[in-house]
Amino acid sequence: MSIDLAKKLAGYAAVDNHVVGPGMKIGIGSGSTIVYSIERLGEKLKNGEFRDIIAVCTSYQSLLLCRQHKIPVSTLDDPAIDGVLDIAIDGADEFDPKLNLIKGGGAAHTQEKIVDSAAKFFIVVVDEKKQSKKLGEKFSVPVEVIPAALNVVMKHLVALGARPELRMGGVQKMGPVITDNGNFIIDAKFGPIEDPGKLEKQINDITGVVENGLFTNMVSIIYMGKNDGSIEVFKRK
């Protein structure tokens, strides 16, 4: 089974197992796995199984996809939403046994943290490559920074034990990656992280940092699609 099918299993499971009634307000994350959750939501709206749901998106990627699938969208400051979502569904780059996450592979973690933390129930959809014993084993911690603060923040991240690198675009975007909020991303390689909750706060204490990609104590449930075609479910204890 391909990794894409594993992502699809997880993306569909989140919608099939959690989106229930009309009027539900749903946070929608970013990345390649959430594409399948958006596809499933669109399909169920079209066939009449769901109605009157409202999505709050975390990036231009998910906003455009929701529009393409005719899913009504709004924002957290819409009075009908008033800063509270029933559920949020999002991907992740790495997760540990305590269901802490590293996110931000798609440079969208700031808006993702805002939306995901506004949800009463936060659902994560991943493939099995994302599972690790300790966060940081596989992935660097993305840090969104105000461009003018780049060098200052880099020095502070080194002092915290990281090897920081400015994330660069590719052939289709020369120079640094610019987030949907107009900022830079630093990928801070820490290696295995002993205390993700402490590090999350330490990074956010640096002046010039907008938000980092450590998501601790937020997740309610994780659906992990596996290459053998099964799904493993991890619930917050």
3-state secondary structure of 36: helix
- Residue positions counted in the chain: 237
Q: Is 112 a catalytic residue?
A: yes
User: Could you tell me if 117 and 213 are in contact, meaning their C-beta atoms sit under 8 angstroms apart?
Assistant: no
Closest CA to 232 of 13, 2, 3: 13
Binding window for ligand 5RP (CB under 6 A); candidates: 46-54, 107-115, 177-185, 198-206 = 107-115
User: Could you tell me if 88 and 115 are in contact, meaning their C-beta atoms sit under 8 angstroms apart?
Assistant: yes
- Examine residue 110 and tell whether it contacts ligand 5RP (CB under 6 A): no
- Examine residue 188 and tell whether it contacts ligand 5RP (CB under 6 A): no
Q: Which is nearer to ligand 5RP, 32 or 74 (CB)?
A: 32
Closest CA to 76 of 104, 50, 57, 53: 57
- Examine residue 32 and tell whether it contacts ligand 5RP (CB under 6 A): yes
Question: 12 to 31, contacts with ligand 5RP by CB under 6 A?
Answer: 29-31
Separation of alpha carbons 211 and 208, rounded Å: 9
Catalytic site residue from 112, 144, 200, 211:
112
Nearest distance from C-beta of residue 49 to ligand 5RP, angstroms: 24
Binding window for ligand 5RP (CB under 6 A); candidates: 97-105, 114-122, 152-160, 184-192 = 97-105
Give the residue numbers marked as catalytic. 112
